[in-house]
Structure 1
Amino acid sequence: MSRNNGIDRRQMLKLAGFSAAGLGLTAAGCGSGGSGSGGPVTIRHSWWGADDRAKKIQQCVTLFEKKHPKIKVKTDFQQYPDFWKKFNTQAAGGNPPDVIQNAVTFLRKYEAKNVLLDLSPQVEKGNLSLDGFRAGLEKFADIDGKLLGVPVGSNSMALVIDQAVYEKAGITPETGWTWDEWYAGMEKIRDGQKVAGDVGPHGVMYLYDLILRQNGKAFFTEDGMGFGEAELLPYWTEALARVKSGIYADPKKVEQIKPASALARGMASGEFTWDNFSIRYSAEGKSRYGLAPIPSTDGKRTGQYLGSLMLSGSARTKHPAEVATFIGFMTHEPEVARIMGYDRGVPATTAQFEAYRPTDAPSKAIEAYETAIAEAGVLEPITPHPAGADVIEAAFLRIAGDLSLGKASPKDSVKQFFSEAKTALGSN
């Protein structure tokens, strides 16, 4: 749930899996060691992202090593899909990095395979603090009593809009607006300016989760799916009709310009995505882009929560105390926030949030948006993600895309999705 650095999300989600047997990991005997001699130790930190993120993290590492001269940090990064492929290979070979960048869709998957370090003992020993986190984020990676990660930033779903188009149409999205009002606005934009109202949101799992939550359900439960064919069929049937009517952008043209954004290219006036992804539109496009509130069913409950990138430790690490010290530094040190900015989302701790006050318009908009939804009281606990959630998200995106392109009917698409979801859940 972080900036995708221009990578096509469909491409991002083609992840390689691995079996628990291939890892050969057990809970006993993993991650119990320390530096032993008390001398300098080296830990490895890996993450996904582009060169800009790598430069910033390296600056943070240099600062950390100055303040902790007995801990050296080797760094490594790849693009999103390559990161997980390499990590899976390293973990299967018994040599994973000591600290990895992580996301909620992978927590239960890797917890079930005994890949992730439980950081709770390090909190108890005073090597890691959970004080000062915003909006309860310290519980974000608390799975079945184990602390499997610590947030470094937060984000939430938002509607990114082309402000020039919305202003010309006389549409001002406000907190409490409904889906009917949103749709009426898209019709007005299409009819008046010959621009699609939205890129096409029906493949965005996290948006559909909010829609389900607004109606008393959720995409996932702790054990599996929180909805069925009866909910998804009308949603995808309606989406296909909107594609055909021009309310949603032409999917063939959207595919042709990837990884560029259809919103930034002027092919649509809005797109639902994570708020901190919005920085890319200003970099890619020529218009002005803003963050609009999530519409709701009743004008009140949006179903929103804060998502987060996090840092997790490896259960194989020989240096759990040093891992915890590094994670604590990256989440609490004010200078880290001044270096990273909003690259990984809005800083998760109050100390870092207050240390970095953005000066550029896109980041200011993100700060204002997250402050507004917090003050509005719409934030709820995040939906649990079972093992296999990453595979299910990829299937949801891919099948919705094929539906848009006319490769399958809504009914067949729904059946295919639940078939693949069942397989994903059963293989974990």
Structure 2
Amino acid sequence: MKKWKKWMGLSFLCLMVAGCSPGGPDDTNDDAGGTDDSGSASEEGQTTIRFSWWGNDERHDLTQEMIELFEEKNPDISVEPEYTGWDSYWERLTTQAAGENLPAVVQMDNSKLTEYISSGLALDLNNLIDEGTINMEDVNDVYQDMLVVDESTYAISAGSNGLATIYNQDLFEEYDINLEPGYTYEDLEEEMARLSEEEGEGFWGYDFVKAEYETFFHYARQFDQHFYNQEGTGVGFENETLENFLSIVTAWIDEGTATPHDVTVEINESGESMVANEEAGIASAASNGLIGVQTLAEADLGLNVMPNAADGEKSGNWVRPSMSFMISSNVSEEKQEAAAKLIDFITNDQEANEILRAERGVPIAAQVRENLVEEVDPTVQETFEFLEVLEERAGDPEPLPPPGEAEVRAAFDRMLESVKYDDMTIEEGVESFIQEAEQILNQ
């Protein structure tokens, strides 16, 4: 059994598929204040642009090294970095947006982008793409479709991932577990129940990792349904679909196949991983989450596709941006062009990607992926291979979530907890959640 090489100092990547990365609110660069980015060139003849992102120390270091290379190759452009952790990042952007002082390039999360589009803060990039300033000729549409709204492109994917499962390869080999793509929830439950029984107390076959919200997206899509309706004014699934999904979740917990809710909450708050700790055999994850979890594990870990509903009509998965880069509409045309050159550099420059090491997700340019795959850690190589499998199986991209998505997710999580603790029936939980979601989306 081969042992993965590990990058020294690689920090744990967030398992949740919302695209977030760890980093506390105090993790801020000293000069990230918000100088005005709305003017034109600086006195030295350079165009100065601000570039903001969230992340951990590793991302900060890699990105700043990439910026130095960009400035070497583009001496007429100066880039001022602004970086912090996840929570304070959005607080700062809100303040900057209110003051019409957003950075030129903004690292964006899928769950937030619609709010910036609807507020007129995100630049339509079509002209910059058509002119070739952002070269997308080597990018398959499947990596970008989620970021195109009404034929306007509002962001460029910073790297791709997909909903996946991370599993303990050593345990799966020991117990001769082989879940080929196309396996069902019933297949998974049967094998994980056997694994839970064999491993004994303190071990569960499956860990939902508090990712039931994202997992239900995948589940509903197999029945040609969606979490949100096309208008973003309510849910896009039938009550019965969510009821059936919650029946799977609660049955697995009741039978000891999946982690109880209190255990899931505790392990997530600790920042650990049950699969890495060998307390679970398999868990829901974003595919690039494998990189961080493997650094915490002694066993070899692997990626697999999500299970299929036995009576589902199609694959529920899709390739999505792990995060993206938006250009602010409030900056000058000169700065917009400079910002576009930076995004193009991140997308297409081989040296830049050798520095960044696919830390934000699998690169979207085909030639960059092909050249980089032999340069990165074997664990990262596995995320590349997973995206190839997913690209063949992927359905149409899920639309960007509507404004209010964060509140809807919170309502879903509250409902889920009440159902898990038997404070309400599944039917009561579904009915109350749908009612609350529609109230949030129609405020």
TM-score range, shorter chain: 0.7 to 0.9
Alignment of 1:169-248 (within 5 A): 169-194=175-200, 195-200=203-208, 203-224=211-232, 225-248=235-258
Shift of 1:33: 7.6
**Which of 157, 161, 168 is the matching residue for 1:162?**
168
Deviation at 1:188, TM superposition (A): 1.1
Measure the CA separation in 2 of the matches of 1:190 and 1:161: 14
- Structure 1 residue corresponding to 2:300, chosen from 288, 299, 324: 288
* Cα gap change, 1:79 to 1:394, in 2 (>3 Å): farther
Show the counterpart of 2:360: 344
What is the one-letter code of the residue matched to 2:174? K
Residue 360 (structure 1) aligned to one of 360, 377, 384: 377
Alignment partners' CA distance in 2, 1:287 and 1:7:
19
CA 1:283/1:273 → structure 2, altered by over 3 Å: closer, same or farther? same
Tell me, yes or no, if structure 1 residue 148 matches structure 2 residue 154. Answer: yes
Q: Which moved more, 1:100-109 or 1:151-160?
A: 100-109
Counting only pairs closer than 5 Å after superposition, residues 119-130 of structure 1 correspond to structure 2 as 119-130=125-136
Which residue does 1:276 correspond to in 2? 288
Structure 2 residue aligned with 1:96 = 102
CA distance in 2, matches of 1:329, 1:100: 15
Contact preservation (8 Å) 2:319, 2:390: no
Q: What does the per-residue CA deviation read over 1:215-258, in whole Å, with 9 as the maximum and x for residues that have no partner? A: 12122233132114332123223322321221111322232232
Please tell me the residue identity of whatever aligns with 1:328.
D
The structure 1 residue matched to 2:331, chosen from 292, 317, 327, is: 317
Q: Tell me how far apart the structure 2 counterparts of residues 221 and 336 of structure 1 sit (CA, whole Å).
A: 39
Q: Provide the C-alpha distance between the structure 2 equivalents of 1:86 and 1:8, rounded to a whole number of angstroms.
A: 24
Query: What secondary structure does 1:269 align onto?
Result: strand
Q: Matched residues in 1 for 2:106 and 2:209: separation? A: 30
Q: Is the 8 A contact 1:301 1:378 kept in 2?
A: no
Correspondence 1:369 to 2:377: no
SS of residue paired to 1:197: strand
Does 1:307 pair with 2:320?
yes
Q: Which sits farther off after the overlay, 395-404 or 353-362?
A: 395-404
Residues 156, 370 of structure 1: 8 Å contact kept: yes
- What displacement does 1:283 show? 1.2
Q: Which residue of 2 aligns with 1:132?
A: 138
Do structure 1's residue 381 and structure 2's residue 400 form an aligned pair?
A: no
Matched positions, count: 406
Residues 97-116 of structure 1 mapped to structure 2, 5 A cutoff: 97-116=103-122
Q: Is the 8 A contact 1:130 1:138 kept in 2?
A: no
Kindly indicate whether the alpha-carbon contact (under 8 Å) linking 1:42 and 1:74 is maintained by their aligned counterparts in 2.
yes
Higher deviation after alignment, 383-392 or 272-281: 383-392
Determine helix, strand or coil for the equivalent of 1:198: strand
* Contact 1:33–1:320 under 8 Å retained in 2: no
Q: Does 1:265 align with 2:290?
A: no
Q: TM-score, normalised by structure 2?
A: 0.84
Letter in 2 for 1:373: L
The 3 A distance-change label for structure 1 pair 57 and 156 is: same
| Runs of 5+ unmatched residues, structure 2 | 1-9, 22-36
1:12-64: CA deviation from partner (whole Å, max 9, x where unpaired) = 69xxxxxxxxxxxxxxxxx9986499931211111111010011110111111
User: Residues 345 and 6 of structure 1: is their aligned pair in 2 closer, same or farther, counting only changes over 3 Å?
Assistant: closer
Q: 2-side partners of 1:316 and 1:408: how far apart? A: 48
Q: What is residue 27 of structure 2 aligned with on the other side?
A: none
CA distance in 2, matches of 1:202, 1:52: 25
1:295 and 1:302 in contact (8 A); partners too? no
- CA contact under 8 A between 2:52 and 2:83: conserved in structure 1? yes
Pair 312,54 (structure 1): closer, same or farther in 2 beyond 3 Å: same
AA partner of residue 378 (structure 1): R
- Give the whole-Å Cα distance in 2 for the aligned partners of 1:371 and 1:197: 27
Read off the aligned partner of 1:404 and give its amino acid letter: K
CA shift, 1:378, in A, is 1.1
In 2, the alpha carbon distance for the partners of 1:188 and 1:5 equals 29
Query: Equivalent residue for 2:91?
Result: 85
Looking at structure 1, the residues matched to 341 and 156 of structure 2 have their Cα atoms a distance apart, in angstroms, of 12
**1-side partners of 2:147 and 2:16: how far apart?**
23
Report which stretch shifted further, 131-140 or 144-153. Answer: 131-140
CA contact (8 A) 1:34 1:320 kept: no
Q: Partner of 2:320: helix, strand, or coil?
A: coil
Q: Give, in whole Å, the separation in 1 of the partners of 2:331 and 2:315.
A: 40
Bigger mean CA deviation after superposition, 390-399 or 64-73: 390-399
Structure 1 pair 322–10 and aligned structure 2 pair: CA distance change class (3 A): closer
CA positional deviation for 1:112: 0.8
State the Cα distance separating 1:390 from its structure 2 match.
3.5
Structure-2 change in CA distance of 1:337 and 1:160 (3 Å): same
CA distance in 2, matches of 1:332, 1:8: 27
Q: Distance in 1 between matches of 2:188 and 2:181?
A: 12
Q: Which amino acid aligns with 2:219?
A: I
Match of 2:420 in 1: 404
Counterpart residue identity of residue 312, structure 1: M
Q: Distance in 2 between matches of 1:139 and 1:292?
A: 23
C-alpha distance 7-139 of structure 1, shift in aligned 2 (>3 A):
closer
